[in-house]
Amino acid sequence: MSNSNNATNQIGLEKADMSAVITELNSLLSSYHMFYINVRGYHWNVKGEHFFTLHPQFEALYTSLQVQIDEIAERILTLGGTPLHAYSDFTQHTSIKEDKNVKDGNTCVKGVVTGLQELIVEQRKVSALAAESEDQGTADLVDAYVQEQEKLIWMYNAFLG
């Protein structure tokens, strides 16, 4: 019995299978942090005729990202991993580029769309890997994010016309 416990994590999944999922979740966590930082910048710096529309939208988005960041980190811990937590680690593992000094509303929105698209690509990869490892919890978590983010992309693209 103890042999079995050494091969599985606290929720009964094979530790060897979870290693790849944890690695991908840490990359996703890094991308979420970079996107969060970009959206905070859009919120702080947006100017122009759409300021009163976009400023609160960006705040709602980065507030949502904060919750998702925490949920991803907690999922990594649940699987027996250690979440990345240093900015230097995030910059090495993210798929999202930092977007500095953006002020124009449309450019900010385009940055949001691009960031969401990047997250979706990563999350689909995590979901497929989690499903292969019989990790339904991780797959469900990121699948829910994808569904929400697909709708956001549609709405932000509608804003762009």
At 120-139, the pLDDT tens digits run: 999 999 999 999 999 999 99
Q: Are 115 and 38 in contact (CB under 8 A)?
A: yes
The whole-model pTM stands at 0.93
Residue range 67-79: average pLDDT? 97
The one-character DSSP state at 103 is -
Q: Are 152 and 158 in contact (CB under 8 A)?
A: no
d(CA 109, CA 33): 18
Which of the pair, 7 or 69, is modelled with greater confidence? 69
- CA atoms within a 13 Å half-sphere pointing along the CA-CB vector of 157: 11
Residue recorded with tokens 């925490």: 70
Give the pLDDT confidence score for residue 9 in this predicted structure.
87
- Domains of the chain in start order, with CATH, are 15-160 (1.20.1260.10)
Give the pLDDT confidence score for residue 3 in this predicted structure.
40
Of the candidates 155, 28, 52, 45, the residue with the CA atom closest to the CA atom of residue 100: 45
Residue 33 gets the label, from left (phi > 0), alpha (psi -120 to 50) or beta, of: alpha
Give the pLDDT confidence score for residue 5 in this predicted structure.
55
d(CA 161, CA 157): 6
d(CA 23, CA 114): 23
Please provide the distance, in angstroms rounded to a whole number, between the alpha carbons at the two ends of the chain.
61
